[in-house]
Amino acid sequence: MDIKEKIEENIDLIKPKKEVELKRKLGLGAAIALGVGTTVGSGIFSSVGEVAAASGSAYMTVIAFLIGGLIMIPQNLVYAELATAYPENGGQYIYFREAGSRPLAFLTGWISFWATDPPSISIMALAIANYLSFLFPAIQGIGIKLVATLFVLVLMIIHLRSVEGGGIFQTFITFFKIIPFIILIGFGLFYFKPELIFAAPLASAPTGLIALAAGIAATTWSYDGMGAVCYMTGEIKDPAKTMPKALIVTVLIIIALYSLLTFSITGLLPMEILTSSNAPVAEAFAKMPIIGQFAGKATAIVAIIVIIGSLSSCIMFQPRIEYAMAKDGLFFKKFAEVHPKWETPAFSILIQCLVGIILIFGSNITDLLGYFTLVALLKNFLTFGTVFWHRKKEKYNPLWRMPVWKLTTILAMLSSSILIVSTFQWAPIKGIISAIIVVTTGLPVYYYWESKKKKVKN
C-alpha cells in the first residue's frame, strides 16, 4: 500500500458516517399481506354471531357483512391518495403534519405509543397463549404470560433483523391463516341448507332497514386495520402504483372472505344457535365430517395462526410512527435510528415490544388502556377529514387521486363515525376522560420538544 492509498484510507475513517435510511424493499404481496394480516384477526371468531344477533336473520347477516365491507372502500381510497401524496413512513402522523397541524400530528403518535400500539401487542400475545393453554392444559398462570412473551420476542427478532424477511414471513403467515377459512367456506357452500339462509327472522329481532343498519354497524370492527400498510409507505417499492393496488385489493379480499364465510356459517347453523354462541366458527367446524369431532381444537389452532399473523403485522408497522416523529424531533432521538446492518428502525421496534411485554404482566393496565379506543377512532375520522386541507395546498400532488374526492371523503368519514358512536355508547365518560388525559399529557410534551428543536436550530 503506497502513501496515497494510506492517506485516502485515513480520510475515509474520519469522514462523518452517512446516516442510514430505511429503503424500499417491500413489494405488492407484502403490502397486501400487511393489510389483510392486520384486519383478519381474532374478532371474526365472535363477530359473525354478534352481527347475526343485530341483524335478526341469516340473509340480513350476509348482506350486512357485504355492505359493511363496501362502505369501507372509500376509507382505503382516501388512504391510497394520501399515501401517494406523501410516500414516507408514519401514516396518520404524516397526514396531520402535512395538513398543517403539528400538535395534532404529535398527539396521534403520542396516543399510539402509550395507549394503543403496545397494548395491542400484549392483548394478541396473551390471546395466542390462552388458545395454546386450551390445547396444552399444563400451560397456566405465569406460564401463559411467559409463552405470550416468547411469541413477542420471536416475532420481534424476525422484524428487527430484516424488513424483507419480515415481509416474507408476513406474506406466508397471512396466506396460511386464510386457508382454514377457505376450507370452511368450501365446506359450507357444499353442505349449506338454503332453508337456514332464508328462514324467517327471529321473533324478537328488528326487521327491515333497522335490522340492516344494526348489522352493518356490528361489522365495522371486523374491517378495522386495512390502512396499516400506510405506516410503511416509505419502505414500499414504487408506491405510486403499489399503494393504491394494495389498499384496493386488500379491501376486496376481506369483503369476499367475510361475506363468503358468513354465507357458509349461516347456511350451516340455525339462527338460534348462531346468535347465542360465543364461538360460531367453532360451531361451524363442528358440522364438518372428521374435523367436527375435534372442532374445539381445530378452532384453537386456526385462532393461533390467525392471531400470530395479526401480531406479526402490528410489530412490523406500528413502530414506524415513532420513527417518523423522532426524525422530526418530536420524539426521543433514538427512535429515528436505523440499524446499519439490518436497515430497520430497530430501537423503535425493540422499545415498543418491551412495553408490550411489560403490559403482558400487567393485564389490568391493558384493560384500562382499552378506554383510549374512542380517541384512536377520532384520529381515524379526522385523518380522512385532512383531505379537505390537503386539496387546498398548491404543492399537493398525489401520484394517484381518488374518484369523486369530496363524496368519497365524506363517505369515509361517515363509515368511520359508526365506530365512534358505538364506542362512545359503550363507555362515554371513560372515553371523554381518556381524551382529556391525551391532551393534558401530550401537549406539554409537544411544546417542550418543539422549543428544544428551535433551540438546536438557533
CA angle 36, 224, 233 (to 5 degrees): 60
Q: Where are the domains of the chain?
A: 22-382+411-453
pLDDT tens digits for 392-435?
A: 998 899 999 999 999 999 999 999 998 888 888 777 888 888 88
CATH architecture classification, 22-382+411-453: Up-down Bundle (1.20)
Q: What Rg do the C-alpha atoms of the chain give, in angstroms?
A: 23
DSSP codes joined into one string, 125-151: HHHHHHHHHHHSTT--THHHHHHHHHH
pLDDT band at 207 (very low <50, low <70, confident <90, very high): low
Please, are residues 2 and 211 in contact by the beta-carbon 8 Å criterion? no
> Would the CA dihedral through 440, 442, 446, 452 be positive or negative?
positive
Residue whose grid cell is 405470550: 148
pLDDT for residue 13: 40
Task: Determine the 3-state secondary structure of 162 from DSSP.
Answer: coil
pLDDT for residue 14: 41
Q: Which residues contact 122 (CB under 8 A, 6 or more apart)?
A: 148, 152, 356, 357, 359, 360, 363, 366
pLDDT band at 200 (very low <50, low <70, confident <90, very high): low
pLDDT tens digits for 69-87?
A: 999 999 999 999 999 999 9
Task: Determine the 3-state secondary structure of 454 from DSSP.
Answer: helix
pLDDT for residue 238: 95
Nearest to 86 by CA among 350, 248, 328: 328
Question: Is residue 99 predicted with pLDDT exceeding 80?
Answer: yes
Task: Determine the 3-state secondary structure of 66 from DSSP.
Answer: helix
Among the residue ranges 90-94, 211-215, 339-343, 442-446, the one predicted with the least confidence is 211-215
Q: Which residues contact 25 (CB under 8 A, 6 or more apart)?
A: 163, 164, 167, 235, 237, 343
Question: Is residue 135 predicted with pLDDT exceeding 80?
Answer: yes
What is the spatial distance between Cα 364 and Cα 5, in angstroms, rounded to a whole number? 63
What is the spatial distance between Cα 209 and Cα 217, in angstroms, rounded to a whole number? 12
Please, are residues 344 and 26 in contact by the beta-carbon 8 Å criterion? no
Among the residue ranges 118-132, 305-319, 357-371, the one predicted with the least confidence is 357-371
